[in-house]
A and B are shown apart, each in its own frame.
Chain A
Amino acid sequence: MARYTINVNGESKQVDVDSDTPILWVLRDNLHLLGTKYGCGIAHCGVCTIHLDGDAVRSCAYPISAVGDKKIVTIEGLSENGDHPVQKAWLEHDVPQCGYCQAGQIMTASSLLDQNPNPTDDEIRRAMNGNICRCATYTRINRAIKSAAKDL
């Protein structure tokens, strides 16, 4: 076990965990931030996506020891009142069906728009390829991202 000081959603947090612990479990088990979900555990499905210095990182396969002073943002910290343009577009287009993957989808979509505020359909498809939705809400995800791009 080792003590780590990490910045999560703008706040400094101290955790005492094994150096190989994925960030996902630090967020969920130590900091009780349950918005970030567990899916595959091998970085294949995208459910656990968070932002690490703005990059859409798979928290299930990223060890706490590799975080350093990078800033972590989870779905809870994306906006103060749930009014990030992507979150608003998600509501507008009624994107979720079961909803399990949606935190990861929203975190990836918001990272995409930070880097490319006006993505084409092809760019959206390529950027969102790593986020799987078993309910197949992909067409609504695509529409919501285009909608959010207009509100940025």
Chain B
Amino acid sequence: MLKNSYSTNGLKYSFGFLVLCLIMGIFTTACKSKKPTSSDYVSIPEAKMKDSIASLSAFEKVYSVLMHPRCMNCHPQGDIPLQGDDSHVHNMLPQRGPDGKGLLTMKCTNCHGSKGVPGDATPPGNPMWHLPPADMKMVFQGRSPRALALQLVNPDLNGHKNMADLRLHAEDTLVKSGWQMGGDRTLPSLTYEEFKEAWYAWIDNGAFAPSK
């Protein structure tokens, strides 16, 4: 009786083991067939490391700065820059022009000199003042975090910058000037140094794009 019982249980365990192997086999095959391809990821070959959590956390901060009027006003959807903390269309309707520097008597530098004069509403100065050029508009206005991140890492949309160039862009004089506009203009929530740190953290950890 006892011997029969052992024999019956042995058969049951063997059968169970076979079923388990079968399930695992099917599961493994299914997993192999659904393995993501390289196109499912944003490929950042120059990135030093890949840490999606750190990268996305940093991009959240980066996005808050890029969408701030001090940055976004010169990355409009249309061909006229925006102005002010409410990002209204720029007074006197200056046009982007082919090189992003304006047209004829309405070039950016006709009012934005290499240096501004003190005052709340006077035009801020910068020797490099311009919009992105007409053939590479680099629009920020209206971009979701995902769309903006993908745009920033795409050389066909970011001004032909590779990741090293993109990283270095944080040092650009016009980027820095977003914190030096003067007057009563609001500033991004991060300081320039904090922004630079977040920018590097986003890129160095893989320049991941958020899901939305």
B42 to chain A, nearest CB (A): 40
Flag B114-141 by CB within 8 Å of A: 1 or 0 each. Answer: 1111110111010000000000000000
B186 to chain A, nearest CB (A): 18
Is residue A15 contacting chain B, with contact meaning CB distance below 8 A?
no
Asked if A127 and B104 sit within 8 Å, CB to CB, the answer is: yes
Is residue A129 contacting chain B, with contact meaning CB distance below 8 A?
yes
Of B53-61, B90-98, B199-207, the stretch lying at the interface with chain A is B90-98
Is residue B113 contacting chain A, with contact meaning CB distance below 8 A?
yes
Query: In the assembled complex, which residues on chain B have CB atoms less than 8 Å from the CB atom of A61?
Result: 111, 113, 116-117, 122-123
Within 8 A of B (CB), among A51-71: 55-58, 61-63, 65-66
Of A27-35, A88-96, A109-117, the stretch lying at the interface with chain B is A109-117
Asked if B106 and A126 sit within 8 Å, CB to CB, the answer is: yes
Is residue A123 contacting chain B, with contact meaning CB distance below 8 A?
yes
Partner among B106, B115, B119, B122 whose Cβ is within 8 Å of the Cβ of A65: B115
Q: Given A61-B123, A115-B104 in contact, is the A129-B94 Cβ separation under 8 Å?
A: yes
Q: Given A42-B122, A58-B111, A61-B117 in contact, is the A126-B91 Cβ separation under 8 Å?
A: no
Partner among A41, A66, A112 whose Cβ is within 8 Å of the Cβ of B105: A112
**Chain A residues within 8 Å of B, Cβ to Cβ:** 20-22, 41-44, 46, 55-58, 61-63, 65-66, 108, 111-112, 115-116, 119, 123, 126-130
